[in-house]
Amino acid sequence: MPNDTTITTDLTPLYPILYQDAVRHALLEDFGSRGDITTDAVVSPDDRATARIIARSPGRIAGIDIAGFAFCCLDPRLQFEAKLQDGKDAAAGETLAIIKGAARPILSAERTALNFLAALSGIATATRDIAALIAAYPARVVCTRKTTPGLRILEKYAVRAGGGFNHRFGLDDALLIKDNHIVVAGGVSEAIQRARRRIGHMIKVEVEVDTLDQLELALKEEIDAVLLDNMPTSVLSEAVRLVNRRVITEASGGISAQTAEAVAATGVDLISIGWITHSAPALDLSLDFAYEFR
């Protein structure tokens, strides 16, 4: 894997309104109908503590403010101090944040906070590592719509934290004509022409093609980008040559850490990878707890 300084990013933080409902829902899911019965039984309301979020393994951080909100949502009086911001790399054993205050809300919010932070940091780390592998080429890593239902905004933010870029957020972002659209329409050309008759000037059109013959048909129409799906690198190289920079080229389909560099070497503009959001391993984190006598 690349070292921690290979890929950096200038990241705009998420507006809190974009994650607050998701965090509240997760806390409610954890609390159920009776709340944290273990903590309520064992810990006094007056007990205080200092806790540290620790990275057990190295990785790119995403979701630190979301974790902070999980704690402070239960008790706004808690002091949450982030030691490392999103988009930065953590070493194994490094402290990511310190939480001080009443012990009960810290314990009760622990799992929700770590779930968000670990999952999003895992996505950011996976994205960073792929971006580092193709850093010698102009190609960008982009995500897909293969995201956890309800968490797409957060997961796509984590991709940006890892140095990647976002594909469309939803079906209304841009027009992407895929293989099944082409089947229903009766062909590449007909599908594109139908689309163009219906959309306004602000909407971009991308079309998915599986073969060079389909690509040549698509290039005769008015399109902005072409998705080159599941093509071997030899065919991808020929596709890039045929496009000759007339439209944006995107490679997609089964691209892994082992194949990403070879795909980038074909000259494509974008490499879209679904697993960086739907299958990235969570970063290993822990909450180390210190009791303070009241």
Which alpha helices (DSSP H) does the chain contain, by range?
20-31, 37-42, 64-74, 103-133, 152-161, 179-185, 188-198, 212-219, 233-243, 260-264, 275-278
Geometric angle at alpha carbon 260, from 11 and 255, rounded to 5°: 100
The residue type at 188:
V
- Using DSSP's 3-state secondary structure scheme, residue 45 falls into coil
Residue 18: DSSP 8-state:
G
On the CB side of 149, CA atoms within 13 Å amount to: 0
Residues with active-site annotation: 111, 146, 178, 208, 229
Nearest to 7 by CA among 165, 146, 169, 120: 165
- Of the candidates 86, 97, 78, the residue with the CA atom closest to the CA atom of residue 13: 86
> Which pair of structure tokens corresponds to residue 148?
């956890």
Please tell me the distance from the alpha carbon of residue 136 to that of residue 131, in angstroms, as a whole number: 10
Report how far residue 124's alpha carbon sits from residue 158's, in angstroms, rounded to the nearest whole number: 5
Tell me the backbone φ, ψ of residue 164, rounded to 5 degrees.
-95, -175
Q: Token pair of 21, please?
A: 């409902």
Cα dist from 249 to 36, 136, 218, 270, 272, whole Å: 51, 18, 12, 6, 11
